[in-house]
Amino acid sequence: MVRAYPLELVPGLMHAAWDASGRRLATVWPTRRPDRWHVSIAGDEVVATVEPLPEDRVRAVLDRWGFTAATPWRRWPVRPQAANPFLAQDRMAG
């Protein structure tokens, strides 16, 4: 059984962790509102929230997308984002 690492959100920091396959990376980005977050998973497919989520819904969305962190969540400071960065990348690629 794979150990699941808990997500503890810290305002102003980006959070990232890999799943057990090593092929899916979840990221949680801060927004300009300290109580809202952008969530995405990159891998074979990319899924991302369009609207920022309140902190208490982030874990539920990751669960719904079938993501379990098999590595500790890494965190580092980033500038809060107005839109989900993964959606912005998709628009630039299109």
**Tens of pLDDT along 29-88?**
999 998 999 999 999 888 999 999 999 999 999 999 999 999 999 999 999 999 999 886
Q: Are 40 and 84 in contact (CB under 8 A)?
A: yes
Q: Are 5 and 75 in contact (CB under 8 A)?
A: no
Confidence of residue 90 (pLDDT cuts 50, 70, 90): very low
Mean of pLDDT values over 6-16? 96
- Please tell me the pTM assigned to this model: 0.89
pLDDT value, residue 54: 97
Residue 1 has pLDDT above 80, yes or no: no
Q: Are 71 and 18 in contact (CB under 8 A)?
A: yes
- Nearest alpha carbon to residue 32 among 71, 86, 84: 84
Give the torsion sign (CA, 32, 77, 7, 86).
positive
Residue 94 token pair: 């299109």
Confidence of residue 92 (pLDDT cuts 50, 70, 90): very low
Residue 93 has pLDDT above 50, yes or no: no
